[in-house]
Amino acid sequence: MTAEDGQPARVNFRSALRAAFRATLESLAADGGVTISAAEMPGLLEQVRETADAKFGDYSGTMAMALAKRAGKKPRDVAVEIIHRLQAAPGFSDLFEPPGDPVGPGFINVRVKNEALAAAVTRAVADDRLGVAAVALPRTVVVDFSSPNVAKPMHVGHIRSTVIGDAIARILRFRGHHVITDNHLGDWGTQFGMILWGWKHCRDDAGFAADPTAELGRLYRLVRKVADAKPDELAADPVAAALVAKHPAAGREVLAETAKLHEGDPENRALWERFMPVCRAEIDRLYARLHVIFDHTLGESFFQPMLAGVVDDLMARGLARESRGAVGVFLGGEDDPPLLIRKADGAFLYATTDLATIQWRLAHWKPDRILYVVDHRQSGHFEQVFEAARRWGVDGIAGVDLVHVAFGTVLGEDGRPFKTRAGDTVGLEALLDEGVERAAAIVGSGDEGRAGMNDDDRRHVAETVGIGAIKYADLCQNRTTDYVFSFDKMLELKGNTAAYMQYAVARVEGIFTKGGVDREALRNARNGVLVSDPKERALALELLRFGEALEDVETDSRPNVLTAWLYDLAGCYSTFYDALPVLKAEGSERDSRLALCDLTGRVLRKGLDLLGIGTVERM
RNA sequence: GCACCCGUAGCUCAAUGGAUAGAGCAUCGGUCUUCGGAACCGAGGGUUGCAGGUUCGAGUCCUGCCGGGUGUACCA
C-alpha cells in the first residue's frame, strides 16, 4: 500500500477503524443479524471515536447498544458478534490489536498496535503533510468573511469574522478542498449615503487633506447620529444636535443620497470613486498586519448592475410583489415579515445584493458549499435569503450547501458589549496596538529568550505574540457563544493561550539549537520511531490525530476543535519531555525521541499556521 | 407578542446521545543537582437554571417554566 510519492500510505486510525466497522456492520446486516439502512450507516460509524479515558484503549465503538433492541438481542451479545466479525475485516488486524470482551453495557474498545503506531509516526516524520492525508473528495467551498463597511473604520466587531473565516479557509485548503475566499465589502449601502450627505453639509477640507480616512470616519459617526436623532445621543453631542436642528429631514436626505448613488447620479458617483481608494487603503493595511489575504474582494458595488434584474425576475416569477410601496419576497404567512429587496424610494437592500451574489457565485465558481462567517444577529436574514434563493431556483442551487457560520458578540470584562470608557466601539487598530504593547512587556523576559535578542527581534516577537493572542483567544472558544475580551487572560503564559502554544514551539526549537541536531537528516534517516514508553506512545498517538482534529473542525466549522487538540498535544509533549531524556538519551532511543520532538514542533507550528497565528524561534 | 441563541466549579471557558462532566486562573500540597521551571505530578471545589419526558444511557434531544442576550418591513 503506497501513495503516489512512493511512501507508505498516510494512516488515519479513526478512518481506518470506521472502514473496518462499516465492513463488519454490512456483513452483519447481509447475514440477517440486524437491518441497517444505507442512510443510517454514517451515523453508526460516527459512534467510532476516541475513548474518553486511555484505560479503555484508544478508540471505542458504541453502536452495539443502539442496535441491540431492533435485533432483539442483548447489547453485549451484539457487541460480541461485532467483535468477532471486526477481527476478520480487511486491514483491521494490521493496525489494531484483537479487541477483548465488550465492556459494561456493550462498549467495544480497540487499541492501536504499537508496530502500526510506530510505522505511522515514522512515516509522518518524513512527510511534508505531517501524516495528514488529503480528503478523498475535494469540494469547492466559498468562504465569505470579514465584509466590513468600508465607510467606517474597522472595529472590534470585525475581528471575529475575519479571524474565524481566515482560519476555516486555511484549514479547508490544507484538507485538500478548493477554497475561494471572498471579502464581500459593504461599499454601496446607506453608510455611503451618510458620508455623501456629510461631505455636502459639514466636511472639513483641511481635515480630509491631512487624513482622509479620519475625516470620512468622523463624517460617518456624526451623520449617523444626525440621521438617527436619538435624544440621548444628541444630548451628549452638541455638534450633532445643532445639525439636527438645522436639518430636521437629514434621515430622509441620507437615504436620498444613497438612492442617487444607486441611480448613477454623476456627482455622487464621482465622490464614491474618490472615497473608495481611501477606504480600501485603510482596511488593506489592517489585513496586512493580520496576514489575511483574500482571493477576491467583490463588494456590494460589484453586484449593483445585477440588482434590478434580480427584482424583476423575482416579480415576474410571482415570488416577489409590492407591499407598502416596497418590494418583498413573501416566504411565510401574511403576518411574517417579507424579505425586502427594494425600498419604497427605489433603492436596493443588502438582501437584493445577497441574492445576486449567490446567483453570481453559482454561475462563476460552481461551489459545493458557501460559508457565511457573519455574526449571529443576522441568522434571521440568512434564513430568509437562503430560502428565497432556493425558491427562486437559481441554476445550481439544488446542489449547494448554504451555511451561516454564526458567532457571538465580543463583550468587555463588565459583560456588556466591548466599548471604550467613553462608550465608543473600539477601533481594530488600537486593539492590535494594545495587544502588541502588552506582549512586549512580557516577551523576552526568560533567560533563554533574553539572550541575544535585539530591538528588532523583540518588536517582531511582540507583534507575533500580541496579534496571536488576540486571534487565539477568539478561535479557542466555541464560536456560537459571546466571549469576554480580556488582554490579561489572553496573554497568560499558561493555559490554553497563544503565548503558551508559541512557547511550546520555541522550546522544541531550543532543543535542536542546543543539541546542534540536523533536522533534515533526522527526517530523511527514516529510522524507526520507538513507542515503548507509555509517554512516547501517548505523544505519538496524539500527533497522528492531527488529521482527525482537522476533519472535526470542518464538520461544524469550529476552529476551537483545533485549538483544544493543539493544547492537548502540547500537554502530551510536556509530560513526555519532562519525564524522558532526549538529548541525553543515546543511540536509536535518542534519534527516536528527537524525531518525536521534531514532528511535535512542526505539527504545533502547522496547527498555529492554520489558525493564522505565527510562531518565533525564541521568545 | 413571536422567533432564534445562551444558562456548566468562586472566575473565564470545554465537553460529535456514551463510561467517573473536563481545562486554565485563583486556593492548597508535592517533584527537581533545570536537555528552555514560562515545567511536571496531585488535592479540594458541581443537584450542568428549575420541573417533567424520550432513551440501555441526557450537559447534549423533546415539552413547560425561570433568568439573560439577539432579531423581528424598507441600515448592513
Give a yes or no: residue A484 inside a domain: no
Q: Which residue has better confidence, A8 or A35?
A: A35
**Mean pLDDT score, A559-578:** 95
- B30 C1' to A494 CA distance, Å: 20
* Most confident region among A290-294, A481-485, A500-504 by mean pLDDT: A290-294
Q: Which residue has better confidence, A445 or A433?
A: A433
Closest nucleotide relative to residue A56's CA, C1' based: B19
DSSP helix/strand/coil, A304: helix
Give a yes or no: residue A554 inside a domain: no
Q: Residue A381 is which amino acid?
A: H
Closest nucleotide relative to residue A327's CA, C1' based: B74
Q: Are A509 and A198 in contact (CB under 8 A)?
A: no
Please give the protein residue whose CA is closest to the C1' of the nucleotide B69: A482
Which range (A16-30, A303-317, A434-448, A513-527) has the least confidence? A434-448
What's the pLDDT at A1?
A: 46
**Mean pLDDT score, A192-212:** 93
> Among residues of chain A, what percentage have pLDDT more than 90?
71
CA A201 to chain centre: 42
A530-A534-A538 Cα angle (round to 5):
85
Q: Which residue has better confidence, A217 or A544?
A: A544
Strand B nucleotides where any atom sits below 7 Å of a protein CB: 3-7, 12-16, 18-20, 23-25, 35-41, 55-57, 69-76
What's the pLDDT at A445?
A: 60
- B73 C1' to A338 CA distance, Å: 7
Closest nucleotide relative to residue A581's CA, C1' based: B35
Closest nucleotide relative to residue A378's CA, C1' based: B71
Sign of the Cα torsion A170, A558, A502, A415 reads: positive
- B74 C1' to A291 CA distance, Å: 38
Closest CA to A100 of A92, A90, A108, A89: A108
A221-A437-A454 Cα angle (round to 5):
140
Please give the protein residue whose CA is closest to the C1' of the nucleotide B16: A46
Based on the domain organization, do A195 and A288 belong to the same domain? yes
Please give the protein residue whose CA is closest to the C1' of the nucleotide B3: A380
Closest nucleotide relative to residue A572's CA, C1' based: B40
- B48 C1' to A560 CA distance, Å: 21
Q: Are A310 and A356 in contact (CB under 8 A)?
A: yes
Does A171 score more than 80 pLDDT?
yes
Give a yes or no: residue A24 inside a domain: yes
Quote the CA–CA distance of A604 and A501 in Å, as a whole number: 8
Per-residue pLDDT of A497-519, as tens digits, reads 999 999 999 999 889 988 999 99
Q: Are A376 and A406 in contact (CB under 8 A)?
A: yes
What's the pLDDT at A2?
A: 47
Per-residue pLDDT of A147-167, as tens digits, reads 998 877 888 889 999 999 999
Please give the protein residue whose CA is closest to the C1' of the nucleotide B70: A377
Quote the CA–CA distance of A225 and A242 in Å, as a whole number: 11
Cell numbers 451479545 correspond to A77
Does A124 score more than 70 pLDDT?
yes
Based on the domain organization, do A193 and A281 belong to the same domain? yes
What's the pLDDT at A6?
A: 64
- B51 C1' to A72 CA distance, Å: 34
- B45 C1' to A406 CA distance, Å: 34
Give a yes or no: residue A38 inside a domain: yes
Query: Measured between alpha carbons, how far is residue A448 from residues A452, A508, A516 in Å?
Result: 9, 13, 16
Give a yes or no: residue A460 inside a domain: no
> Among residues of chain A, what percentage have pLDDT more than 70?
98
Give a yes or no: residue A257 inside a domain: yes
- B7 C1' to A456 CA distance, Å: 47
- B18 C1' to A65 CA distance, Å: 10
Closest nucleotide relative to residue A495's CA, C1' based: B24
Q: How many domains does chain A have?
A: 2
Closest nucleotide relative to residue A324's CA, C1' based: B73
Range of the domain at A87: 13-112
Does A336 score more than 70 pLDDT?
yes
Per-residue pLDDT of A139-150, as tens digits, reads 999 999 999 988
Please spell the DSSP secondary structure of A476-510, one letter per residue: TS-TTS-EE--HHHHT-SSSSSHHHHHHHHHHHHH
Which range (A18-27, A326-335, A465-474) has the least confidence? A326-335
Q: A581-589 — which CB contacts under 8 Å span 24+ positions?
A: A582/A511, A583/A511, A583/A514, A583/A515, A588/A527, A588/A528, A588/A530, A589/A530
Closest CA to A71 of A35, A27, A43: A35
Closest nucleotide relative to residue A336's CA, C1' based: B72
What's the pLDDT at A450?
A: 57
Last residue of a domain, one of A81, A112, A143: A112
Residue A288 C-beta-side C-alpha neighbours within 13 Å: 6
Which range (A224-238, A251-265, A457-471, A547-561) has the least confidence? A224-238
Please give the protein residue whose CA is closest to the C1' of the nucleotide B22: A52
Cell numbers 540536523 correspond to A518
- B15 C1' to A589 CA distance, Å: 36
CATH number reported for the structural domain that contains residue A28 in this entry: 3.30.1360.70
Give a yes or no: residue A375 inside a domain: no
DSSP helix/strand/coil, A316: helix
**Mean pLDDT score, A132-136:** 96
- B49 C1' to A441 CA distance, Å: 41
- B66 C1' to A407 CA distance, Å: 26
Query: Measured between alpha carbons, how far is residue A153 from residues A148, A354, A422, A445 in Å?
Result: 9, 23, 17, 35
Give a yes or no: residue A241 inside a domain: yes
Does A434 score more than 60 pLDDT?
yes
Cell numbers 449601502 correspond to A189
Quote the CA–CA distance of A611 and A222 in Å, as a whole number: 37
Q: Which residue has better confidence, A8 or A475?
A: A475
Please spell the DSSP secondary structure of A447-484, one letter per residue: HHHHTT--HHHHHHHHHHHHHHHHHHHHHTS-TTS-EE
Last residue of a domain, one of A112, A137, A157: A112
Does A423 score more than 80 pLDDT?
no
DSSP helix/strand/coil, A557: coil
Does A412 score more than 80 pLDDT?
yes
Average pLDDT across chain A, whole number: 91
Quote the ipTM score.
0.95
Closest CA to A570 of A604, A593, A546: A604
Closest nucleotide relative to residue A383's CA, C1' based: B4
Quote the CA–CA distance of A174 and A134 in Å, as a whole number: 8
Last residue of a domain, one of A250, A277, A292: A292
Return all residues near A372 (Cβ < 8 A) that are at least 6 apart.
A144, A145, A382, A402, A403, A404, A405
